[in-house]
Structure 1
């Protein structure tokens, strides 16, 4: 099956007819269909297929028990109304790259693995990279069991309903010990490659980033009869905090976004009693990130005091800066630069499973050009010629790492 055929087969799964975006949330029907697609691709190629204790899917060419395997892949889940390329491009390209290596009659000296990590986006339970975090021991069983979706369904309940045993989840050092190198291909979430005219790039680092929950508690009241002077409206404090986040991010050369909000009682004619907002903040270094988050918290506190609002702030997730291993990154640059043109090396503000695994195994990333820079949106796009260039680049890298 060609890249185009695989892409066309996967494309309709979980797509919303209203928005044109994707709703492939962890442990839902769309996720099940994506998993079935992955398994079918593995079995059609005669690969050994397995699901690990944390729900991640693996397909193996060669015996992974030998260790020192080269692994590639990404994820198939999405953000709410996300684009088609974020995650799936890396998985489809992994199978296509294996096909290309077989067509080249490459002789493998190391096992090759293809992986689909579960719940990378965190759209359902609010924490990104759940599958890889569990595997790497960066998410405890206790904290994983406490994760709930908007309907109050816990992660274990969702996993069990989808036919997976939640009792087994936890660190998986034996599986990590199989891996000698992990290379993740991903659509670029930005326009750096488009601006330089390059089809392919190599990641240098992932910015430190995290998510913070801000709870503004006021007093519910009637929107039509309560004087402005008598109100304790948490929406005012929240709104000014959103503006403060934008201001502080600009000053620090960082990015900060309030992209999710929950309001109680959430009535058109009611003053809210609670406004809960989630801040996503990212910066090129830890000092800049700390500066932004501290300033936003300070501003939120001042606005809360002004309007008689109670404020609570909790950090829900955090990933420190990830500098990809120099030796592996340099090897990718050497392999891809054979044609005489150096491949650009760039940092990214987006988190990835490769970043989570970097503390346990050597990891690297390839980026495919995104002409608009749009991501986490139905408008996300990569031209098929660029995608095929990504497949060839990935095949070249895998051949350099896993073949003679």
Structure 2
């Protein structure tokens, strides 16, 4: 069984952050898309791109009610080697395993690669699956902007896709009968090599924009300042206080404008990621943080605007599919995940499930993310068993 992860180990390395930075329609991700197309072609799979930029590699003739597996190839800034690519590599290797034993699917079967799952470039996660299902409009997606001011529409056009044709794709959705996504575990919930997912926490992203008055750091008295960095800082602390009872609230990105060392910022943008087991609790956490941020802005004479950039309710994976896969795989455990996935977006439209491969470090979205070779091999076997079970 070839180690396809090793084949792409040098693509998108981030010398500054460590790990990998592979973003939707950026050079590293485009190189990986070419790599996937070539590897699928070696296996006789017919690769086609849908109008939203997602890649489909068909084993045999495309058709409705297909068994579909796959994941994504993009990453967060400075992410690990496994998040996303492991699911794609395992799908290709599962085809190898099934072919070696003479299996031929009697249901249509495809491996899919979704574009911009992490939202690392344009800020909205699972963009390829959201567009396909209509969870985001093509007009809204086209206007999303990366840190360099390039819009998603511009990047898509440069990559060969027409942003005016993007959007809900009934044809692609009708093809999917069962979708199973294999992913490295993003936590330490497994004490065996492979498990299945039970649910995804309700989660979303919000931008808090604090506006004050830019001024000189040395010439402006403290009592004369309207410094948006202060309420932004208090908002970060409020996020930690609000994250109780299993809820999660994280600030991983903060951008002051203009960003000079000797300049009082005129505005500060802060991005909040909030998650909890249920929708109501997630909303409560965000409301508590918003109230604290509003008070902090008022105390400093600043204004605040809060924008919800993306949101997904709690996803409970299809229980029949989950239980049947757990049984076929020998009674493996089911566990919830706090991470969002394309399988979660598709769950509102078709039967979906997830397989997790053990991550002994518990670290994800960072270079220390890890899964052993033996556990990765067990994941391939589990995925092949799953496909054989569903596609027979």
Following the alignment from structure 2 to structure 1, what is the Cα–Cα distance between the partners of residues 161 and 325? 36
Corresponding residue of 1:119: 116
Corresponding residue of 2:151: 154
The residue correspondences of 1:4-23 to structure 2 (distance < 5 A) are 4=3, 6-23=4-21
**Quick check: 1:95 aligned with 2:92?**
yes
Following the alignment from structure 2 to structure 1, what is the Cα–Cα distance between the partners of residues 97 and 246? 42
Residue of 368, 374, 381 corresponding to 1:379: 368
Aligned length: 392
Following the alignment from structure 1 to structure 2, what is the Cα–Cα distance between the partners of residues 17 and 155? 25
Following the alignment from structure 2 to structure 1, what is the Cα–Cα distance between the partners of residues 271 and 203? 13
Following the alignment from structure 2 to structure 1, what is the Cα–Cα distance between the partners of residues 231 and 219? 21
Three-state SS of the structure 1 residue aligned to 2:75 is: coil
Following the alignment from structure 1 to structure 2, what is the Cα–Cα distance between the partners of residues 73 and 305? 48
The Cα offsets for residues 344-369 of structure 1, whole Å up to 9 and x where unpaired, read as 11001100000011111100000000
RMSD: 1.0
Three-state SS of the structure 2 residue aligned to 1:275 is: strand
The Cα offsets for residues 24-68 of structure 1, whole Å up to 9 and x where unpaired, read as 111111111100011001110111110100000010012222x11
Residue of 308, 312, 327 corresponding to 1:315: 308
Q: Any conservation in 2 of the 1:26–1:119 contact (CA below 8 Å)?
A: yes
Following the alignment from structure 1 to structure 2, what is the Cα–Cα distance between the partners of residues 189 and 397? 21
Three-state SS of the structure 1 residue aligned to 2:243 is: helix
Q: Any conservation in 1 of the 2:17–2:77 contact (CA below 8 Å)?
A: no
Q: Any conservation in 2 of the 1:184–1:364 contact (CA below 8 Å)?
A: yes
Following the alignment from structure 1 to structure 2, what is the Cα–Cα distance between the partners of residues 208 and 221? 40
The residue correspondences of 1:69-80 to structure 2 (distance < 5 A) are 69-80=66-77
Q: Any conservation in 2 of the 1:206–1:350 contact (CA below 8 Å)?
A: yes
Shift of 1:329: 0.7
Following the alignment from structure 2 to structure 1, what is the Cα–Cα distance between the partners of residues 240 and 164? 42
Shift of 1:391: 0.4
Q: Using structure 1 for the length normalisation, give the TM-score.
A: 0.95
Following the alignment from structure 2 to structure 1, what is the Cα–Cα distance between the partners of residues 45 and 183? 23
Three-state SS of the structure 2 residue aligned to 1:64 is: coil
Q: Any conservation in 1 of the 2:195–2:326 contact (CA below 8 Å)?
A: no
Corresponding residue of 1:289: 282
**Quick check: 1:325 aligned with 2:330?**
no
Following the alignment from structure 2 to structure 1, what is the Cα–Cα distance between the partners of residues 14 and 232? 31
Residue of 157, 162, 166 corresponding to 1:165: 162
Q: Any conservation in 2 of the 1:62–1:110 contact (CA below 8 Å)?
A: no
Residue of 68, 75, 78 corresponding to 1:81: 78
**Quick check: 1:134 aligned with 2:127?**
no
Following the alignment from structure 2 to structure 1, what is the Cα–Cα distance between the partners of residues 263 and 137? 40
**Quick check: 1:239 aligned with 2:233?**
yes
Residue of 43, 65, 68 corresponding to 1:68: 65
Following the alignment from structure 2 to structure 1, what is the Cα–Cα distance between the partners of residues 107 and 41? 20
Q: Using structure 2 for the length normalisation, give the TM-score.
A: 0.98
**Quick check: 1:394 aligned with 2:383?**
yes
**Quick check: 1:260 aligned with 2:257?**
no
**Quick check: 1:220 aligned with 2:214?**
yes
Following the alignment from structure 1 to structure 2, what is the Cα–Cα distance between the partners of residues 191 and 330? 21
Deviation larger for 258-267 or 91-100: 258-267
For structure 1, list consecutive stretches of 5 or more residues without a partner in the other structure.
none
Corresponding residue of 1:351: 340
Corresponding residue of 1:209: 203
Corresponding residue of 2:44: 46
Q: Any conservation in 1 of the 2:69–2:111 contact (CA below 8 Å)?
A: yes
Residue of 181, 193, 199 corresponding to 2:193: 199
The Cα offsets for residues 98-157 of structure 1, whole Å up to 9 and x where unpaired, read as 110111112321111001100101111111111110111111111112111112211111
Corresponding residue of 2:272: 279
Residue of 322, 327, 351 corresponding to 1:362: 351
Shift of 1:20: 3.2
Following the alignment from structure 1 to structure 2, what is the Cα–Cα distance between the partners of residues 3 and 288? 44
Task: Give 4+ residue runs of structure 1 displaced > 4 Å after superposition.
Answer: none
For structure 2, list consecutive stretches of 5 or more residues without a partner in the other structure.
none
Shift of 1:17: 3.3
Corresponding residue of 1:178: 175
